[in-house]
Chain A
Amino acid sequence: MTSLTNTALPSSADAVIVGAGINGLAVAYELAKLGVRNVVVIEKGYVGSGSTGRCGGGIRQQWTTEENVRLARESVELYENLTSELGYQTFFRRGGYLMVTETEEHRAAMREAVALQNRCGVESEFLEPDRCLDIVPDLNIARIKGASFCAGDGTAYPFSVVWGYARAADRRRVKIFSQTRVTGIECDGGRITAVGTDRGRIATPIVVNCAGPWARALAAKVGLDLPNRQERHEIMVSESLKPCLEPMVISLSNGIYFSQSMRGEIVGGIGDPEEPGWEDPARFDTRSQLRFAVRFARALCDLYPAARPLRMMRQWAGMYDVTPDHRPILGGVPGLDGYFQICGFSGHGFMLAPIAGKRMARHIATGEPDDIVTSLSLARFERGDLQTDAFVVG
């Protein structure tokens, strides 16, 4: 992995990507692979220091909107071969995703979602509660009303994936500058002309906003008002155990999710309905709270009582970049040639980034329209084309 903190910035580039999280690095790698020379990635922290490095590493195809299901399915196909594609071990493991619910209402929604997923080629299935025990024998099914399971879903280690993309991009001459902040974006006559940073100016006809929870603030530099809102989410890791938990388990009822990493730790989080959303990056607060640890521990001991004697090692927080319909924002913006964005993943950027980066790179490099990019463009909010995905958990 290379991050050229001490090297001088180039004075010009063919494309500047803002953000060295999984989305920025995936699109940088794919652009270079398509033959775009002089691709530069600017990162204000270290590689993976934003939302990617703070996420749970889950990769699922069980969604309730068609674009999310299709994107996730294509993304899983890429994840399947990503270790050889990048020449780097990503620790992708298909342990499946078991989604459970305690309400009749969700039970019906799950059946509908499974039907949609099956139509899109995702082999998920609806399960009666007792069948969950075939997949997780220690699960407490006392209050579970139904579940859906997809054996093809899985997990990967987020840092390995970004390091793999960074190295593969580096081999294709992409330059990654960490500890570098964007100070401004210059436009002239409706075209992007340069990106200003605290270490110098880079003339470029293309800028790609992959800044995650900072995407809204970055877009404001070109006068664009994104509808994204930032939400704080917490997560934790336990001590390591021998392999004992095959899938990611996730509850639609209280928002808990947990899986076992390749290192043996239980990694998991839980959504907090009382957590406020923020629009001002200056108010981002990623300090940990005891409230999370207690809420998570209670939910885990209830759903997976075998975890009671297990010790929690550490907890941390990260930001979700949430859109009004919980679907990402991809593509360009009319009247601003050369500006593109890959943001608003609403907590699911890690699982969708490989395909979002690939489709966006093709769209940027060739100028050809892409059906999913068009469908997920910022213009959908003006069109009123909002299909909220109901399975946003965590």
Chain B
Amino acid sequence: MSQPHCFLCRCEDVTLEEFREAYREGFTEIESLKRYTGVGTGFCQGKECLAEAAGELAQLRGVAPGQIRLTTIRPPSEPLTFAQLASLPIPPVREDAPSIVADGDNAEGDQ
């Protein structure tokens, strides 16, 4: 990960240098970096790049990689067509237990 021209996110064509530049511009949080650079928002939804991005951010901040949490992983785990989704039965409302729990937002939504 030392070559600045290497691609950090191949789906959205984000280079390592662009990611670093965004950090220098003041986007110092992983969630803001995702939305500013587009890293992790392409077809793989971050499966290929988010861990690398978090590792790079840890280096930029000078902290251990474990200090940087990943962005919230959002469903579906693989992109599905609207026709496929529309063919499913509608699940009931569940007030306390959402039917998909992969989305790891905490109760205060600040992830």
Question: Do the two shown chains form a genuine complex with each other?
Answer: yes
In the complex, per-residue mask of A228-244: 1 if CB is within 8 Å of any chain B CB, else 0 = 00000000001100000
Chain A residue nearest to B22 (CB atoms) is A1
6 A-B residue pairings within 8 Å (CB atoms): A48-B35, A54-B109, A274-B93, A294-B91, A311-B82, A318-B109
How distant is the Cα of A294 from the Cα of B88 in the complex, in angstroms? 6
Q: Does A285 contact B (CB under 8 A)?
A: yes
Is there an interface contact between A285 and B98, defined as CB atoms closer than 8 Å? yes
How distant is the Cα of A55 from the Cα of B25 in the complex, in angstroms? 24
How distant is the Cα of A126 from the Cα of B43 in the complex, in angstroms? 39
- From B26, B84, B94, give the contact of A3 (CB < 8 A): B26
How distant is the Cα of A45 from the Cα of B31 in the complex, in angstroms? 10
- From B26, B75, B79, give the contact of A1 (CB < 8 A): B26
Residues of B within 8 A of A285 (CB): 96, 98, 107
Is there an interface contact between A289 and B31, defined as CB atoms closer than 8 Å? no
Number of A residues whose C-beta is below 8 Å from B?
A: 56
Is there an interface contact between A312 and B80, defined as CB atoms closer than 8 Å? yes
How distant is the Cα of A295 from the Cα of B83 in the complex, in angstroms? 12
Determine how close the nearest CB of chain A comes to the CB of B52; give it in whole angstroms: 19
Is there an interface contact between B83 and A308, defined as CB atoms closer than 8 Å? yes
Question: How many contacts A-B (CB < 8 Å)?
Answer: 151
In the complex, per-residue mask of B62-87: 1 if CB is within 8 Å of any chain A CB, else 0 = 00000000001011100111111110
Interface of B is mostly: loop
- From A5, A283, A290, give the contact of B107 (CB < 8 A): A283
Q: Does A382 contact B (CB under 8 A)?
A: no
Considering only residues 26-53 of chain B, those with a C-beta below 8 Å from chain A are 26-29, 31-32, 35-36, 41, 43, 45
How distant is the Cα of A76 from the Cα of B20 in the complex, in angstroms? 35
Q: Which stretch (A67-75, A296-304, A336-344) binds chain B?
A: A296-304
Q: Does A275 contact B (CB under 8 A)?
A: yes
- From B26, B79, B81, B91, give the contact of A289 (CB < 8 A): B91
Is there an interface contact between A284 and B82, defined as CB atoms closer than 8 Å? no
Q: Does B2 contact A (CB under 8 A)?
A: no
Also in contact, A290 and B88, with CB within 8 A (given A281-B108, A283-B107): yes
Q: A274-B93, A294-B91 are in contact. List 20 more A-B contacts (CB 8 A).
A: A44-B108, A45-B109, A53-B35, A54-B109, A163-B36, A239-B79, A281-B108, A283-B107, A284-B109, A285-B96, A286-B103, A287-B98, A287-B105, A289-B100, A293-B76, A297-B85, A308-B81, A311-B82, A312-B81, A316-B74
Chain B residue nearest to A53 (CB atoms) is B35
How distant is the Cα of A284 from the Cα of B110 in the complex, in angstroms? 11
Residues of A within 8 A of B92 (CB): 291
In the complex, per-residue mask of A299-323: 1 if CB is within 8 Å of any chain B CB, else 0 = 0110000011111111111110000
Is there an interface contact between A294 and B76, defined as CB atoms closer than 8 Å? no
Determine how close the nearest CB of chain B comes to the CB of A294; give it in whole angstroms: 5
Is there an interface contact between B36 and A312, defined as CB atoms closer than 8 Å? no
Q: Does A47 contact B (CB under 8 A)?
A: yes
| Chain A interface residues toward B at CB < 8 A | 1-3, 5, 44-50, 53-54, 159, 163, 178-179, 214, 238-239, 272, 274-276, 281-291, 293-298, 300-301, 307-319
Also in contact, A291 and B91, with CB within 8 A (given A49-B109, A178-B29, A283-B107): yes
Q: Does B1 contact A (CB under 8 A)?
A: no
Chain A residue nearest to B79 (CB atoms) is A311
Residue from B31, B72, B108 having most chain A Cβ neighbours under 10 A: B108
Determine how close the nearest CB of chain B comes to the CB of A201; give it in whole angstroms: 22
Determine how close the nearest CB of chain A comes to the CB of B107; give it in whole angstroms: 5
Residue from A178, A286, A316 having most chain B Cβ neighbours under 10 A: A286
Is there an interface contact between A314 and B74, defined as CB atoms closer than 8 Å? yes
Is there an interface contact between A286 and B109, defined as CB atoms closer than 8 Å? yes
How distant is the Cα of A312 from the Cα of B85 in the complex, in angstroms? 9
How distant is the Cα of A313 from the Cα of B74 in the complex, in angstroms? 9
Is there an interface contact between B108 and A312, defined as CB atoms closer than 8 Å? no
Is there an interface contact between A297 and B82, defined as CB atoms closer than 8 Å? yes
How distant is the Cα of A53 from the Cα of B84 in the complex, in angstroms? 28
Is there an interface contact between A314 and B75, defined as CB atoms closer than 8 Å? yes
Is there an interface contact between B109 and A291, defined as CB atoms closer than 8 Å? no
Is there an interface contact between B43 and A294, defined as CB atoms closer than 8 Å? no
Is there an interface contact between B35 and A159, defined as CB atoms closer than 8 Å? yes
